């Protein structure tokens, strides 16, 4: 049964390529990239191991601990996990939950990230080339560690999934994650100041990390190589205990997941027309009302809103703390915040039609003009985005108290919002890509999305940067010279250029969309 689950995963993996050659190209590029990085890291460790075994060993421990920790964090907070092997899908088959759990975990190795992790952990053993017994133990530890990584990833997703029925949990969780980072900032800065100290700090850190569940498997060979048998025993206990505990937790979750089909509590009723009624009764007004409702109600949109407070914390608190001894208290970075958040928010409507999924058919069938569709979405974005961008402009100024920068900040921030809204309006009329489907957990990612999405998004971001360049140029000039004239010029250029580009984006994007409506419709049908 375990073998069958693994071969099912393999079939799903290879069938994904049949749908589009792009996915194959993406997977190959991703695999080559991962392979290159891993091999380079392995070779580096081998060389280091020949010269300074202790340092190499501690790097191996820290690196493998970081990888396992990454599996615990990244799927939950950032990427989500491919839902094609969700335990619920096996609910109707008579498979014992223990067997199912083992099969699903082993199946997790099929795919680039799973294999890359296994390979990377095994290559960290190269740090012990001079100690054969430790080398063997390290390889064994790597295999178990890679398995443990799959286990914590799935356990984390399961726990997050049970909480995710409540909206906003993920956003709060992502925020909580930034608190340790905020505190880590000053610590890293301290270390960075005296570079030589790193060499002596790493072994000290590794000495502690090997007793954590994440570092335990990587730490076994390290302890053995140093002849520290007490630590070896202790590490073994921690490792086995975490494995058992996590395994028990996952099996327990699985058992529950199989008998409780996901049931999302029905949402509260809407009295009257809500946002749909707050806009003019025209096609663009209807689109704006509907899109605003989605911004506020659809968890998939909330993810792009959650990034705003995260960036504020990063730029207003974390980065200044890193550079606290530079002339301006490291604060000048925070002035980037306005344009950055403006650009990110404008960017988020580039996936609008993909998020609509096949509900987009109502626009096609109604014969909505392309410009009305584009304009409505931009208006909704402004309703949500202008207050947030203003916040991102005003908070840093409020903290620094340098209100002379206000006009420049407004010009750069609002200019970036408008510019990227215009460009995103054109882009989303042309390119769609797979996103989590409506009603799906935002933790799920549709398989094989990576490459096409990355290409479209990086091209779009580059375009936004190019079109924002004039405004940003004046903004930088105003920051450098401190001359209020440049600040006012930034405001004028930012607003005028932004409004012109947004209007052009609505018109051009609208024309493209009208011409391509059936093709867009087919694209969202495929993504379903």
Partner 1 sequence: MPPLDPQAAVSLRGLVKMFGQHRAVSPFPLDVPSGSFYGLVGPNGAGKTTTLSMFTGLLRPDAGQASVHGVDVWADPMEAKRRLGVLADGVRLFDRLSGRQLVTYTGRLRGMPADEVDQRTNDLLRVMDLEDAGDKLVVDYSAGMTKKVALACAMIHAPRVLVLDEPFEAVDPVSAANIRDILNQYVANGGTVLVSSHVMDLVQRMCTHVAVIADGQLRASGTVDEVRGGLSLEERFVDLVGGRGTGEGLSWLRS
Long-range contacts of 477-480 (CB under 8 A, 24+ apart): 478/405, 478/408, 479/332, 479/335, 479/405, 479/408
Our finding on whether 527 is near partner 1 (CB under 8 A) is no
323 or 358, CB closer to partner 1? 358
Length of the chain: 528
409-448 residues in contact with partner 1 (CB under 8 A) are: 438-439
Residue 384's alpha-carbon distances to 64, 174, 264, 304, in angstroms, are 42, 20, 26, 11
User: Which window, 46-54, 70-78, 393-401, 518-526, contacts partner 1 (CB under 8 A)?
Assistant: 518-526
The site that binds partner 1 (CB under 8 A) totals a number of residues, namely 44
Long-range contacts of 310-314 (CB under 8 A, 24+ apart): 310/174, 310/175, 310/178, 311/337, 311/340, 311/341, 311/344, 311/392, 312/337, 312/341, 312/391, 312/392, 312/395, 313/175, 313/178, 313/182, 314/178, 314/181
- State the angle between helix axes of 337-347 and 370-400 in degrees (0 to 180), rounded to the nearest 10: 160
Our finding on whether 400 is near partner 1 (CB under 8 A) is no
226 or 363, CB closer to partner 1? 363
CA distance 308 to 304: 8
289 or 342, CB closer to partner 1? 289
Counting Cβ atoms within 10 Å, is residue 70 exposed (0-12), middle (13-18) or buried (19+)? middle
Of 237, 273, 459, 466, the one binding partner 1 by CB under 8 A: 273
CA distance 150 to 82: 13
3 or 269, CB closer to partner 1? 269
Of 363, 374, 377, 452, the one binding partner 1 by CB under 8 A: 363
CB 320 within 8 A of CB 333: yes
User: CB of 316: closest distance to partner 1 in angstroms?
Assistant: 33
Our finding on whether 154 is near partner 1 (CB under 8 A) is no
175 or 526, CB closer to partner 1? 526
Our finding on whether 402 is near partner 1 (CB under 8 A) is no
- Can you list the positions of beta strands (E) in 379-474? 444-445
162 or 293, CB closer to partner 1? 293
Our finding on whether 315 is near partner 1 (CB under 8 A) is no
Of 379, 424, 367, nearest to 276 (Cα)? 379
Residue that has been written with the tokens 């360049």 in this structure? 469
- State the angle between helix axes of 53-74 and 21-51 in degrees (0 to 180), rounded to the nearest 10: 150
User: Which window, 128-136, 284-292, 307-315, 408-416, contacts partner 1 (CB under 8 A)?
Assistant: 284-292
Our finding on whether 517 is near partner 1 (CB under 8 A) is yes
User: CB of 436: closest distance to partner 1 in angstroms?
Assistant: 13
User: CB of 291: closest distance to partner 1 in angstroms?
Assistant: 10
User: CB of 83: closest distance to partner 1 in angstroms?
Assistant: 17
Q: For residue 201, what are its two tokens?
A: 């700090």
Our finding on whether 357 is near partner 1 (CB under 8 A) is yes
167 or 255, CB closer to partner 1? 167
Our finding on whether 15 is near partner 1 (CB under 8 A) is no
369 or 400, CB closer to partner 1? 369
Our finding on whether 132 is near partner 1 (CB under 8 A) is no
Of 362, 403, 458, 482, the one binding partner 1 by CB under 8 A: 362
123 or 524, CB closer to partner 1? 524
Interface characters, 226-265, with partner 1 (x: CB under 8 A): ----------------------------------------
Of 88, 143, 91, 154, nearest to 121 (Cα)? 143
User: Under the rule (CB under 8 A), what is the footprint of partner 1?
Assistant: 266-267, 269-274, 276-277, 281-283, 285-287, 289-290, 293-294, 297-298, 356-359, 361-369, 438-439, 517-519, 521-522, 525, 528
């Amino acid at each position: 049964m375990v073998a069958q689950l693994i071969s099912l995963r393999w079939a799903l993996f290879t069938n994904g390529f049949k749908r589009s050659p792009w996915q194959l190209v993406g997977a190959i590029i991703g695999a080559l990239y991962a392979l290159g990085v891993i091999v380079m890291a392995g070779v580096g460790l081998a060389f280091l191991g020949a010269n300074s075994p202790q340092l190499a060993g501690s790097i191996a421990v820290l690196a493998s601990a970081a990888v396992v920790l990454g599996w615990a964090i990244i799927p939950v907070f950032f990427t989500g996990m491919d839902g094609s092997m969700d335990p619920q899908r096996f609910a109707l088959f008579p498979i014992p939950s223990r067997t199912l759990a083992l099969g699903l975990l082993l199946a997790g190795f099929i795919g680039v990230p799973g294999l890359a992790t296994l390979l990377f952990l095994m290559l960290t053993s190269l740090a012990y080339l001079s100690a054969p017994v430790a080398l063997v133990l390290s390889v064994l530890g790597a295999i178990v560690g890679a398995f443990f990584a799959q286990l914590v990833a799935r356990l984390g997703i399961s726990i997050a999934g049970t909480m995710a029925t409540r909206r906003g949990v993920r956003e709060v969780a992502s925020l909580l994650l930034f608190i340790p980072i905020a505190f880590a900032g000053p610590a890293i800065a301290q270390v960075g100041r005296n570079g030589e100290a790193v060499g002596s700090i790493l072994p000290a850190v590794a000495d502690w990390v090997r007793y954590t569940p994440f570092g335990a498997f990587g730490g076994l060979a390290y302890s053995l190589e140093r002849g520290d048998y007490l630590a070896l025993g202790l590490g073994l206990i921690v490792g086995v205990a975490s494995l058992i505990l996590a395994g028990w937790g996952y099996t327990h979750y699985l058992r529950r997941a199989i008998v409780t089909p996901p049931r999302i509590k029905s949402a509260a009723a809407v009295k009257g027309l809500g946002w749909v009624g707050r806009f003019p009764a025209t096609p663009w007004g209807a689109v704006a009302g509907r899109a605003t409702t989605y911004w506020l109600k659809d968890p998939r949109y909330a993810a792009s809103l959650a990034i705003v407070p995260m960036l504020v914390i990063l730029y207003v608190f974390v980065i200044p703390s890193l550079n606290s001894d530079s002339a301006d208290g490291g604060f000048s970075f925070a002035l980037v915040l306005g344009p950055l958040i403006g650009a990110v928010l404008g960017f988020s409507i580039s996936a609008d039609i993909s998020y609509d999924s096949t509900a987009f058919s109502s626009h096609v069938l109604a014969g909505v003009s392309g410009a009305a569709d584009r304009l409505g979405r931009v208006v909704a974005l402004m309703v949500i985005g202008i207050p947030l961008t203003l916040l991102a402009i005003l908070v840093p100024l409020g903290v620094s108290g340098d209100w002379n920068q206000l006009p420049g900040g407004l010009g750069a921030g609002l200019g970036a919002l408008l510019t990227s809204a215009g460009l995103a309006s054109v882009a989303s009329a042309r390119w769609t890509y797979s996103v989590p489907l409506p009603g799906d957990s935002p933790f799920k990612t549709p398989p094989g999305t990576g490459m096409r999405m990355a290409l479209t998004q990086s091209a779009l971001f580059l375009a936004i940067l190019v079109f924002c360049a004039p405004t940003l140029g004046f903004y930088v000039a105003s920051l450098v010279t401190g001359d209020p004239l440049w600040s006012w010029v930034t405001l004028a250029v930012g607003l005028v250029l932004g409004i012109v580009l947004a209007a052009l984006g609505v018109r051009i994007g609208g024309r493209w969309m009208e011409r391509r409506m059936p093709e867009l419709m087919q694209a969202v049908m495929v993504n379903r």
